[in-house]
């Protein structure tokens, strides 16, 4: 059967069921559960998830590029045209190690990017498994 004809018949059946009062009405809980199940099924396909993530990133960067192009450039507020707002100057210091090799270390004097939020005391353990 032609897919268009099949869709037309199904549409008429749906309208008739709604008029008669026997059509299925989704509750918000049913709809939420169906959406969750569909999301779980779709997210199993890693290639698909990578593709939609890439599309989102491209869309976002294109929107940001358009917004930057529409803003007037005033002085040195934006930085260079190529780097834009993401260009960050970083200090480069030359250092000699014990062998006498000179290497450029970027940001050696900076604080590490990851710090524990709460200090961890590894000396003591609490609970029933603690052995003293």
Dihedral sign computed on CA atoms, order 45, 48, 52, 57: positive
Strand, coil or helix: 104 = strand
Rounded mean pLDDT, 16-43: 92
Report the candidate in 127, 82, 90 with the shortest Cα–Cα distance to residue 109: 90
- Segment 79-124, tens digit of pLDDT: 445 555 666 676 666 555 555 545 555 555 555 556 656 666 666 5
């Amino acid at each position: 059967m032609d897919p268009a004809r099949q869709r037309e018949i199904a549409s008429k059946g749906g309208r008739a069921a709604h008029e008669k009062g026997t059509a299925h009405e989704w509750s918000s809980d049913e709809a939420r559960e169906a959406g969750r199940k569909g999301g779980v099924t779709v997210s199993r396909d890693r290639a698909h998830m990578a593709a939609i993530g890439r599309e989102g990133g491209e869309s976002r960067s294109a929107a940001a590029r358009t917004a930057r192009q529409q803003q007037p450039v005033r002085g040195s507020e934006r930085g260079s045209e190529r780097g834009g707002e993401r260009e960050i100057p970083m200090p480069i210091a030359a250092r000699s190690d014990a062998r006498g090799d000179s290497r450029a270390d970027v940001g050696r004097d900076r604080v590490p990017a990851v710090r524990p939020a709460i200090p961890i005391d590894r000396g003591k353990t609490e609970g029933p498994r603690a052995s003293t």
